[in-house]
Amino acid sequence: MAKRTILKLGDPALTMKSEPVAGIDADIRTLVRDMIETLHKAPGIGLAAPQVDVRKRVVTVDLSIGEDPDALYALINPEIVQREGKCIREEGCLSVPEVYEKVARPQKVVVKGLNLEGSEVTIEAEDMLARVFCHEIDHLDGKLFVDYLSPLKRSLIRKKFKKPEAKKKA
């Protein structure tokens, strides 16, 4: 297992759309293992492949941060097939460290995707779990939570990440 480097705001790779995974091979399994290690070590509750510089539609989510194996999801080609309600809560991102802002998300979503065995799985997620799945799937489409903020807030945050000391910290 190997921890990978998490890209930070300002890196153009974070704005690109990721490609669907065509087949679950050894590369994908290694990627998922590395993503889980990177996620737990960060620590964070979700990680999308583009954050570790891989433009493939793979996400990992673990609200328990390694405490509960049943809380760990690794999904290939995930899609939100149903959304319900609305919930405004503070959100953060490992690619935008130390920034927390309120973002509106559906209260409940149904997510479909493939597990590592290639079987289709359906997950009904509410509240924080729904939020993290939405956040990770946004990453696959090159979208960050700061894109939901006002242009003023967004430009202030972007400026902060252009400073050399912000890069060094990463």
Give catalytic residue positions. Answer: 136
Of 21 and 93, the one with the shorter C-beta distance to Ni ion is 93
Stretch that binds ligand GNR, among 16-24, 79-87, 128-136, 147-155 (CB under 6 A): 128-136
91: contact with ligand GNR by CB under 6 A: yes
Of 74 and 94, the one with the shorter C-beta distance to ligand GNR is 94
Nearest CA among 78, 55, 160 for reference residue 125: 78
CA–CA dist 40, 38 (Å, integer)? 6
Cβ within 8 Å of residue 65, ≥6 positions away: 39, 40, 43, 44, 45
Of 114 and 133, the one with the shorter C-beta distance to ligand GNR is 133
Q: Which of residues 4-43 bind ligand GNR (CB under 6 A)?
A: none
Of 44 and 106, the one with the shorter C-beta distance to ligand GNR is 44
CA–CA dist 109, 138 (Å, integer)? 14
132: contact with ligand GNR by CB under 6 A: yes
For the chain, the farthest-separated pair of C-alpha atoms sits apart, in whole angstroms, at 45
45: contact with ligand GNR by CB under 6 A: yes
CA–CA dist 47, 11 (Å, integer)? 16
48: contact with ligand GNR by CB under 6 A: yes
Q: Which of residues 72-131 bind Ni ion (CB under 5 A)?
A: 93
Give whole-number Cα distances, 40 to 22, 80, 90, in Å. Answer: 27, 24, 21
Binding site for Ni ion (CB under 5 A): 93
Binding site for ligand GNR (CB under 6 A): 44-48, 51, 91-95, 131-132, 135-136, 139
